[in-house]
């Protein structure tokens, strides 16, 4: 079995995103913010498996998650859009997200 080498950034760390993916992810996040009410951001730290991510959660609990270049980048980006950000490892996720997930699961179960 062959393993792909991960790209490294100029600082020697793993490269989190290529330009095309970064652009698509940023566009998705901006569209989510601009098309929903009461969006807040929850930053998830880098782990052994994933890079830094941001979870955007709307007032109704709908959410989306995308990789971001860094926590600092995410805070700055969110501030420019007027989106408050929190450290998910410290504050957790809001109840409205769990309720939205439950509603989606129930809706899917009743469709089949």
Per residue in 25-71, pLDDT (tens digit) is: 999 999 999 999 999 999 999 999 999 999 999 999 999 999 999 99
Asked whether residue 99 carries a pLDDT value surpassing 80, the answer given is yes
For 5-27, how does the pLDDT look when each residue is reduced to its tens digit (9 = 90+)? 444 444 444 444 466 668 899 99
Residue of 29, 102, 100, 108 lying closest to 61 (CA atoms): 100
The confidence score (pLDDT) of residue 14 equals 47
Domains of the chain, by residue range, sit at 19-111
The confidence score (pLDDT) of residue 45 equals 95
pLDDT tier, 110 (very low <50, low <70, confident <90, very high otherwise): low
Residues 6 or more apart whose Cβ sits within 8 Å of residue 85:
40, 41, 42, 43, 54, 74, 75, 78, 79
What is the average per-residue pLDDT within 89-112? 89
Entry pTM: 0.79
The radius of gyration computed from the CA coordinates of the chain, to the nearest angstrom, equals 16
Q: Name which residue leads in pLDDT, 94 or 112.
A: 94
**What percentage of the chain exceeds 90 in pLDDT?**
74
């Amino acid at each position: 079995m062959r393993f792909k080498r991960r790209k490294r950034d100029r600082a020697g760390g793993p490269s989190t995103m290529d330009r095309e993916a970064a652009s698509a992810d940023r566009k998705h996040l901006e569209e989510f913010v601009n098309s929903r009410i009461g969006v807040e951001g929850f930053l998830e730290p880098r782990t052994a498996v994933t890079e830094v991510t941001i979870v955007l959660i709307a007032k109704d609990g709908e959410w989306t998650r995308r990789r971001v270049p860094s926590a600092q980048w995410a805070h700055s980006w969110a501030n420019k859009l007027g989106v408050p950000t929190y450290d998910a490892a410290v504050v957790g996720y809001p109840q409205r997200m769990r309720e939205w997930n439950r509603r989606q699961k129930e809706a899917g179960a009743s469709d089949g």
